[in-house]
């Protein structure tokens, strides 16, 4: 070791080790995500440098160590978060679910939050007023109503003045009634597109001048169903896929303005997006009334009634802990180098990889096995029984 440290290359390697250690420590202290790991990031570069010198010699050790430094720097750059400061963020769909939890989460971190709600006098809005700080403002914001979006823009721009708006989180969305695509009425497709896609596009277009002032962030809440095909989610998935494509194009186009765009593709979380029991009954009634007689005959009453029970069981298979989604959104808002796509939740990234990198027949087979316990239409059950006979 004495020979290594007495050589010029040895001293150079030790210097690079020390410089990298100080840099990593500085980045770790700046980032709230890394505060728990400050000691690890302080010790790791020094140990790595010493190991390289001891095992490979000063020359080769320096090459390996510098390559490792580059990898660590890229990783830490993606982990480092900007300070919250007085950053202002607009969140749509803050009445319930992810939007409601996000409004509380960002308010607690010190953000200036504009919480857009469908009902300004509803229980969700009242809870935000009661539990959050005075920095949070509740806005009446039906994203399918252009007038309300424009009024919200005027109110936000008046409060942020010349600093601009740091972030827009397009969270508002509807699920619709999960059923086979053939069974869904066209009104359900249009409604999903109106809220999940056109509403988000309208909000983005109107608020982009404020994002340009701050060179801020546009975050669009898509879905796992917007990245991969999932049975019984044709209307919802198609609208979220459109939103994901919009996010990708805007990420490319807005980069010249310094605006960063991210899409969030969560897996199943318990958010209340299914709506109330009265809404289920209304949607089921609309579905039944629009079914042609031959379609109703082929699917059968048992299958159609099973859709409602499937709808009611959905929340039971979803994760009640929203923290992975909130953490992903925070990273998209504050990271120096945010990702273009986030996949929080159990199994989200795995399913996306299977869909992208495996043959489609394997993906379809995998999904069919996941849903193998579901009932089959009456006509198909009759055919199977006839073959067995």
Rounded to an integer, what distance in angstroms lies between the CA atom of residue 240 and that of residue 217?
19
User: Catalytic pick from 153, 236, 299, 342?
Assistant: 236
Q: Which residues pair with 81 in a beta bridge?
A: 335
Q: Would you call 75 a catalytic residue per the annotation?
A: no
Distances (CA, A) of 169 to 63, 94, 204, 319, 340: 43, 10, 9, 21, 14
Rounded to an integer, what distance in angstroms lies between the CA atom of residue 319 and that of residue 331?
20
At a CB cut-off of 8 Å and minimum separation 6, what does 339 contact?
78, 262, 331, 332
Alpha helices in 36-164 (DSSP H): 38-79, 97-109, 123-131, 146-160
Both structure tokens of 249: 């194009």
Three-class DSSP category at 170:
strand
Alpha helices in 215-345 (DSSP H): 234-254, 277-289, 293-299, 301-313, 323-334
Alpha helices in 161-267 (DSSP H): 186-192, 200-214, 234-254
Cβ proximity of 274 and 314 under 8 Å: yes
Cβ proximity of 72 and 40 under 8 Å: no
* Number of C-beta neighbours around residue 144 at 10 A: 14
Q: How far is CA 130 from the centre of its chain?
A: 27
Active site (catalytic) residues = 236
């Amino acid at each position: 070791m004495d020979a290594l440290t007495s050589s010029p290359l040895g001293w150079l390697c030790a210097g690079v080790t020390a410089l990298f250690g100080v840099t990593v420590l500085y980045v770790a202290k700046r980032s709230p995500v890394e505060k728990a790991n400050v000691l690890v990031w302080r010790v790791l570069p020094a140990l790595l440098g010493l190991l390289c010198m001891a095992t490979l010699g000063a020359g080769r050790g320096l090459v390996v160590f510098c390559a490792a430094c580059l990898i660590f720097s890229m990783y830490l750059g993606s982990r480092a978060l900007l300070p919250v400061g007085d950053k202002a963020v607009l969140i749509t769909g803050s009445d319930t679910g992810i939007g409601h939890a996000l409004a509380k989460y960002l308010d607690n971190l010190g953000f200036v939050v504009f919480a857009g709600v469908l009902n300004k006098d509803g229980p969700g809005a009242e809870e935000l007023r009661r539990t959050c700080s005075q920095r949070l403002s509740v806005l009446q914001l039906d994203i399918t109503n252009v007038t309300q979006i424009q009024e919200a823009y005027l109110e936000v721009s008046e409060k942020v003045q010349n600093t601009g708006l740091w972030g827009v989180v397009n969270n508002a969305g509807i699920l619709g009634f999960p059923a086979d695509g053939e069974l869904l009425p066209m009104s359900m497709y249009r409604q999903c597109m109106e809220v999940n896609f056109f509403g988000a596009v309208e909000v983005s277009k109107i608020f982009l001048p404020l994002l340009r002032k701050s060179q801020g962030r546009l975050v669009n809440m898509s879905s796992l169903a917007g990245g991969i095909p999932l049975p019984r989610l044709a209307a919802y998935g198609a609208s979220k896929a459109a939103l994901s494509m919009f996010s990708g194009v805007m990420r490319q186009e807005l980069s010249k303005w310094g605006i960063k765009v991210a899409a969030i593709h969560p897996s199943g979380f318990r958010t209340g997006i299914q709506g109330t029991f009265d809404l289920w009954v209304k949607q089921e009634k609309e579905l039944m009334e629009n079914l042609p007689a031959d379609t109703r005959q082929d699917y059968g009453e048992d299958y159609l009634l099973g859709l409602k029970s499937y709808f009611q069981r959905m929340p039971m298979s979803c994760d009640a802990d929203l923290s992975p989604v909130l953490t992903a959104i925070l990273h998209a808002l504050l990271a120096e180098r945010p990702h273009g796509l986030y996949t929080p939740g159990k199994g989200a990234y795995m399913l996306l990889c299977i869909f992208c990198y495996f043959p489609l027949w394997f993906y379809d087979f995998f999904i069919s096995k996941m849903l193998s316990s579901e009932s089959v239409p009456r006509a198909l059950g009759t055919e199977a029984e006839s073959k067995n006979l």
